[in-house]
Amino acid sequence: MSKLEIHQIPVLSDNYIYLARCTETGDTAVIDPAVAKPVLDEAEKLGWKITHILNTHHHPDHVGGNMEIKQATGCTIVGPKPDRDRIPGIDIEVDEGDTYTMGACESRVYFVPGHTRGHIAFWFPDSDALFIGDTIFMLGCGRLFEGTPAQMWDSIQKMRDLPPETKIYCAHEYTQSNAKFAITVEPDNEALMARAEKIDAMRARGERTVPDTLEVELATNPFLRADAPTLAAGVGMPGADPVDVFAEVRHRKDNF
């Protein structure tokens, strides 16, 4: 099976756009283009020919570059079927359980509502790559603009079942502020405290903290740990239903 070569482009204040090139065919996808120009410039510099756009959800900082990139390259736009009316230029609609093969690289599509009602994720198993949009961030998760805590917890649980070595390519560099919050809800988590220190050091050196692995998130991200007794205790809800713990943690983060 063919693998992806992945290139990360920081744009706007904290967005990441990804270029993912199939090493067998040279087909190249842009994931969640907030803007067009930096993507077209970067692809040209790399000598990669953009053939696809993959969209995880409809927010402007994920689809803003769609039409300009499509006009410039004639690429095919693949996006969430449940959100077809909100994805500019969509050509191919995909949904939970679908596979989509970009070049010779197969992805599996997951429906992960919560941040928006039509959010999807693309998992490329042979590359250990998960393009998750704004569902999971390093040490965080997306705000619940269109979904309920129960929906988001359900979506996150689907992602937790992927192999631990999976790299999570999220769309924002929010890690340092997420870490500051995370230690307030699970102060006894030593792995979290160690990671928070490491992140401070990385940011002080101007380094990116994205991607990281699912294994690391499982041990430290409170939004993946709503069923961990230490987190429930940390928010004063020992023995509570994980959905209620998740809702409480999300509520606290919204007001942090």
Q: Which residues are catalytic?
A: 57, 59, 61-62, 115, 134, 172
Q: Nearer Cβ to Zn ion, position 142 or 222? A: 142
Shortest distance, CB of residue 46 to Zn ion, whole angstroms? 26
Shortest distance, CB of residue 145 to Zn ion, whole angstroms? 7
Binding track, positions 132-171, relative to Fe ion; x by CB under 5 A: --x------------------------------------x
How many other β-carbons are positioned within 10 Å of the β-carbon of residue 126?
13
Token output for 112 = 């992960």
Q: Does residue 83 touch Fe ion according to CB under 5 A?
A: no
Q: What's phi and psi for 248, nearest 5 deg?
A: -65, -45
Shortest distance, CB of residue 61 to Fe ion, whole angstroms? 4
Q: Does residue 32 touch Zn ion according to CB under 5 A?
A: no
Q: Does residue 58 touch Zn ion according to CB under 5 A?
A: no
Q: Nearer Cβ to Zn ion, position 34 or 235? A: 34
Q: Say which amino acid occupies 115.
A: H
Q: Does residue 59 touch Zn ion according to CB under 5 A?
A: yes
Q: Does residue 134 touch Zn ion according to CB under 5 A?
A: yes
Shortest distance, CB of residue 114 to Fe ion, whole angstroms? 13
Token output for 152 = 């988001």
Determine the Cα–Cα distance for residues 138 and 153; give it in Å rounded to an integer: 16
Q: Nearer Cβ to Fe ion, position 61 or 212? A: 61
Interaction site with Fe ion (CB under 5 A): 61, 134, 171
Interaction site with Zn ion (CB under 5 A): 59, 134
